[in-house]
Amino acid sequence: MSRSRATLLTALVILGLAAWDTGADPVRFARGIPWMLDFVRRMIPPDLAVLPAALEGALKTVEIAVLGTAASAGLAVPLGFLSARNVVPRAVFYPARAVLNFLRSIDTLVYALLFVAAVGLGPFPGVLAVVAYTTTSLAKLYSETIEGIDPGPADAITATGATRLQVLRFGVLPQVLPLFLSYILYRLESNIRAATILGFVGAGGIGFYLQTYLRMIDYPAASTVLMVTVAMVMVVDFASSRLRARLV
């Protein structure tokens, strides 16, 4: 009892410190409500003249996410096997896992800043950023899937005199493929959201328009872009979840 009370007390102290340090203040928030309502009021009606630009931005964003996810899906396969405990010796597994964990701690947006500096503005650094993050994150998911397989079929294939590659192809791949596809679609959904923000740092897509109109204080135009963004995310989520439901 005293131990759980101590835990609760510690948690409250930490939360209190965090609230004090970040200036979290309900009164200040309440005072801001009229300003938010004003913000919303100024966004209505949306300026549909910018709709073609917003749609073009949305298409770019989808392209960035789809291309980046597809490239990662392939690149992550060898990395996933190389960091699966039951496939490679420890001498390979531990370094591979360490590298993946390190790279995965860097977010897509941070990668985008790096790639914009390296190859210039536009959607291409966005694609590279999506690939950099998604490859490592899919590799981690792949390797965990590979570690969870039933070893029986792989044993049976090994016993036929098959090579290691044949064992992977016939004993392991059929077990993991449906899950791999499901993870790829899940990453695609997340990448659509991530790619929306990429435009803020100059890496192309619909985020660029959103940021531009907000800076120009053109709220009606910004609200059109916002609505297109919401519609885009919802359509991709819906399509992807339908596909995923059919895989399992």
Partner 1 sequence: MPPMIEIRGLRVVLPPATVALYGVDLTVAAGEFVVIIGRSGAGKTTFLRSINRLVEPTAGSVHVAGRAVTGADPAALRQVRRQIGMIFQQFNLVRRASVLENVLAGRLGYVPPVPSLLGRFPARDRAFARECLAQVGLAEFAERRADTLSGGEQQRVAIARALAQEPSVILGDEPTASLDPALTGSIMGILKRINQESGLTLVVSQHQLETGLEYGTRIVGFQAGRICFDGPPEKVTASVVDAIYGDGEPA
Return the range that interacts with partner 1 (CB under 8 A); candidates 86-94, 154-162, 190-198, 216-224.
154-162
Asked whether position 88 contacts partner 1 by CB under 8 A, the answer is: no
Closest listed residue to residue 85, CA positions, set 138, 135, 136, 140: 140
CB of residue 78 vs partner 1: minimum separation in angstroms?
14
CB of residue 177 vs partner 1: minimum separation in angstroms?
8
Asked whether position 165 contacts partner 1 by CB under 8 A, the answer is: yes
CB of residue 158 vs partner 1: minimum separation in angstroms?
6
Return the range that interacts with partner 1 (CB under 8 A); candidates 60-68, 99-107, 151-159, 196-204.
151-159
CB of residue 179 vs partner 1: minimum separation in angstroms?
11
Return the range that interacts with partner 1 (CB under 8 A); candidates 27-35, 46-54, 92-100, 172-180.
172-180
CB of residue 180 vs partner 1: minimum separation in angstroms?
13
Q: Is 121 left (phi over 0), alpha (psi -120 to 50) or beta?
A: beta
Asked whether position 170 contacts partner 1 by CB under 8 A, the answer is: yes
Member of 155, 234, 235, 241 binding partner 1 (CB under 8 A): 155
CB of residue 151 vs partner 1: minimum separation in angstroms?
9
**Size of interface with partner 1, in residues (CB under 8 A):** 19
Member of 42, 174, 235, 247 binding partner 1 (CB under 8 A): 174
Member of 9, 166, 238, 241 binding partner 1 (CB under 8 A): 166
Q: Which residues contact 151 (CB under 8 A, 6 or more apart)?
A: 86
Residues that bind partner 1 (CB under 8 A): 152-153, 155-163, 165-166, 169-171, 174-175, 178
